[in-house]
Amino acid sequence: MRRRTFIASSIAATTLPQLVSAKTANFDPTPQKVRIKKSYQVGELLILPRSYYLYFVTAPGEAMRYGVGVGKAGLEFSGTATISVKKEWPTWRPTNEMIERDPSAYGRFIGNTEAQPGGPSNPLGARALYLFQGGKDTYFRIHGTTAPKSIGRSVSNGCIRMLNEHVKDLYERVPIGTTVTVL
């Protein structure tokens, strides 16, 4: 091996871990104004689950970007929906599918219509935006969370999670009727 090749290989080997860790360190859930393709309509919400970001298009080519948590593999929502209901401190009840998948976690909901009241310990957090398709509830939500460490991860039962302070901000910005596209 020639000296020049050895030096270049050594530099590359020491730089590679920094590049890899820099890539994973780039996720930032903080809301921030970013550029977006001009083809997206102002007022539209776009969610990219693989990158853990939700974009609210504020002007042609501009959006507010928020970090989100998304559904586990096989439980995620994709497609287009409309926000048809918005609630502050919503009540929560797991879906029948959630209860069937994990009866030990949701046992208290078996055989009744109990719902957890809204409040700081509610899994839907401070705000919820309810997604509908064709006038019917999809049972998917964009909502706050009591588990802030879930932001930037695929851990939910399908809903899009946001930090409570971020979902409060989004809640104030988007009206009922907003189109949501999850890719």
Nearest to 147 by CA among 162, 131, 166, 127: 162
How far is C-alpha 120 from the geometric centre of its chain's CA atoms?
19
Question: Do residues 152 and 52 make contact, with C-beta atoms less than 8 angstroms apart?
Answer: yes
- Annotated catalytic, 159? yes
* Per annotation, catalytic residue among 36, 81, 126, 159: 159
Say how far apart CA 165 and CA 153 lie, in whole Å: 18
Do 29 and 67 contact (CB within 8 A), yes or no? Answer: yes
Tell me how long the chain is: 183
- Pick the catalytic residue from 65, 143, 161, 166: 143
d(CA 10, CA 43): 50
- In this structure, the strands spanning 70-71 and 154-156 are parallel
User: Which of the residues are catalytic?
Assistant: 143, 159
